[in-house]
């Protein structure tokens, strides 16, 4: 994957307030903020249907490679 292809990714991560950020790699600000993880996934697909979406696991998994799952 080249540097240009990195923009074809989104990360859906939980915020401290319980909402969800939809972020591109190395972005300073989220592309969207949603109330639920599902809405964040759907919003990422609306923005770029071809992008890979990485979703932060929210149930007690330890940090590491398994912290994110793919949609």
Helices (H) and strands (E) in the chain, counts: 1, 5
Instruction: Tell me if the pTM is above 0.85.
Output: no
Q: What is the pLDDT of residue 7?
A: 72
For the chain, which residues make up each domain, given as ranges?
A: 4-70
Give the pLDDT of residue 1: 47
pLDDT confidence of residue 38? 96
Using CA atoms, how far apart are residues 1 and 12, in angstroms rounded to an integer? 20
Tell me the pLDDT of the chain (71 aa) as tens digits.
455 555 799 999 999 999 999 999 999 999 999 999 999 999 999 999 999 999 988 776 666 556 776 76
Q: Which of 9, 6, 1 is nearest to 55 (CA)?
A: 9
């Amino acid at each position: 994957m080249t540097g240009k292809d990195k923009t074809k990714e989104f990360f859906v991560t939980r915020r401290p307030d319980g909402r969800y950020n939809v972020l591109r790699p190395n972005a300073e600000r989220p592309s969207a903020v949603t109330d639920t993880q599902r809405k964040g996934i759907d919003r990422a697909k609306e923005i770029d249907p071809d992008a890979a979406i990485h979703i932060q696991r929210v149930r007690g998994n330890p940090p590491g490679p398994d912290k994110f799952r793919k949609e």
